[in-house]
Amino acid sequence: MLKSLRISNFALINKLELSLENGLNIITGETGAGKSVIVGAISLLMGERFDRKVLYDENKKCVLELEVELNPIIWDNRFKSWDLDFFKNTIIRREILTNGRSRSFINDTPCKTSILKEIKAALIDIHQQNQVLSLYKTEHQLNLLDNYGELSTINQQFELEYNNWKIELDALENLKIKWAQHSKDRDYWQFLYEELDKLELNEEITTLESDALILENAEQLIQGFNSSKFLMDGSDQSIITQLEQIYSHLSSSCNGVENFNPLLERINSLIIEAKDLMFDFEEKEGQIEHNPEKLLLLREQIDIINRLLLKHQVKTVKELKKIKLDLENKIVDIQSYKEKITLIEKSIDQYYKNIFKLGNELSSKRKTAALNLEKEINSLLPEVGITYGKIKVCIDKKQKLSKRGLDQISLLFSPDNGNKFLPMEKIASGGEMSRLLLSIKFILSKKSLLPTMLMDEIDTGISGEVAKKIGVLLKKMGERAQLICISHLPQISSKGKAHFHVFKQSDAKGFQQTLIKTLSNEERIYELARMLSGDKPSKSALNNAEELLSY
């Protein structure tokens, strides 16, 4: 509920403070005094757009502040999701700066305007002519029926199945598109894969080129190894023989002289290394073959790899192997598409069955709720002055499936006791529409806790006994929710738990400003009498006012 409102430098208001009660709060005052300005201030404070002209004094900023009492069970997690501190009594503030910009705060923490709009949607219902127009919309009519029938659970179940169905439909569509695209490319991918698969991509091209170079120079290499082996150990003057002779001479000459031992060790190491080289020469020579056919095949393979490297715009055989693996995966994926499509089609079919099962159940519940809603509204219409009016809730099958179910809802109205029903926008007057919406809200207030309701123009086009009945209706609604009602009628104003009077007064500079006053019981009697008979109420008007308050 709204606890208090503070307005500074807004429209006709210099400063204004209003403490609100739970239940029905009445605001009265002369036409043009600024009653609707208060509703406008609350709308602006809760995130609506503004014009810089709203400043009472263009050289000062406008500050709007609202204290609200919130249910922790409902609001605590929401505040956490917004990264805001939660307090049961929360202060919402919006400032309109002189440069035309605005800033918003919740409990002194800056917040986005979108958060204010979310709070407004859940906390405040502003009943004005534009909201009456929303009653013409089929989506709004459907919401009213579902709220009345308390069908939120089955609605959520249906929407979940519907969303899952849509997700699978999109997945199927994407898969079919990929199937069509990939099917065109499949033969080309298969050709590329087979082209790579023919090669043994085990060695980098530098290794293959080295092997080819050995084959090309086989004779020269063999001759070179033979000459090297002869020089190393093939004659009396070979390298190994000479090294062994050197070792023998030094060993006998330096026998017992420790300082020369390192020289002997180095010569011995050279002998060992020379013999190892002889072994390596023989091993490498044994690996060399003179094979023109193998060389031809190797050169062909090198040419093919070079062509593929250029074709695929890569530099290494490793990259070619990755391309081959990717092609293989694409081909396998194409082969598995048909199986995936079959599985998704089965899933879609199951979701579709679930949708229609839940949809038919929802339709059945809606038809039951529609009959009960019709009965309740039609019994209430005479109480709001629509004596011969009747409402009819029609439920038809939708041509196109949506997340809201299988039904198309339309509210029809008959002003002549049900002889002819037409869509409300074609036959109901503005006053009738306002009272129809009030009747619906009254019925819904018995089903669930409504947000705070701000009612402006609620008494347009009514008077006398009808006004009295609507006043009683509003009083009953005030027992279930907080109402703030701007009224011009004493029959309605007398039903309020709290009564506020809005009036204009000149400030020190002679400018008109809007002020508000909480009326005492005696002041209420006078205000009601003034509303009954004029600025100087008669004694009978005062007696009538006192009588109105007693009911």
The CA distance from 244 to 232, in Å, is 12
Helices H / strands E in the chain, number of each: 18, 15
pLDDT at residue 228, rounded to an integer: 73
The CA distance from 146 to 202, in Å, is 69
Sequence letter at residue 550: S
pLDDT at residue 270, rounded to an integer: 82
Q: Tell me how far apart the 2 most distant CA atoms of the chain are, in Å.
A: 154
The CA distance from 365 to 38, in Å, is 41
Burial (Cβ within 10 Å: 0-12, 13-18, ≥19) of residue 270: middle
409 within 8 A of 397, measured Cβ to Cβ: no
Burial (Cβ within 10 Å: 0-12, 13-18, ≥19) of residue 119: buried
The CA distance from 418 to 421, in Å, is 6
Domain coordinates of the chain in residue numbers? Answer: 1-128+456-519, 205-315
Q: What is the dihedral of CA 534, 535, 539, 545, to 10 degrees?
A: 70
Q: What is the pLDDT along the chain (551 residues), one digit of tens a residue?
A: 899 999 988 888 888 898 998 999 999 888 777 788 888 888 888 888 877 677 888 888 889 999 999 988 889 989 999 999 999 999 999 998 888 788 999 999 999 988 988 888 888 887 765 566 667 778 878 888 888 888 989 999 999 999 999 999 999 998 888 877 777 777 777 777 777 777 765 555 566 556 656 656 566 766 666 777 767 777 777 877 777 777 777 777 776 667 777 877 887 888 888 778 877 777 776 667 776 776 676 666 767 777 777 787 877 777 777 888 888 787 777 777 778 888 999 999 999 999 999 999 999 999 999 999 999 999 999 888 888 889 999 998 887 888 888 998 888 988 888 788 888 878 877 777 878 888 888 888 777 666 788 887 677 777 788 888 888 889 988 888 889 998 888 999 999 999 999 888 877 777 778 888 899 999 999 999 998 888 788 889 889 888 888 87
Please name which of 375, 407, 455, 424 lies closest in space to residue 139, comparing C-alpha atoms.
407
C-alpha distances in angstroms, 193 versus 200, 304, 320?
13, 14, 10
- Give the neighbor-by-neighbor strand order of the sheet with 452-455: 124-127, 452-455, 483-486, 24-29, 498-506, 512-518
Q: For residue 104, what are the β-bridge partners?
A: 94, 111
33 within 8 A of 502, measured Cβ to Cβ: yes
Superfamily of domain 1-128+456-519: P-loop containing nucleotide triphosphate hydrolases (3.40.50.300)
Structure tokens at 353: 């069955």
Helix axes 218-233, 261-287, angle to 10 degrees: 150
The CA distance from 104 to 65, in Å, is 10
Residue 144 three-state SS: helix
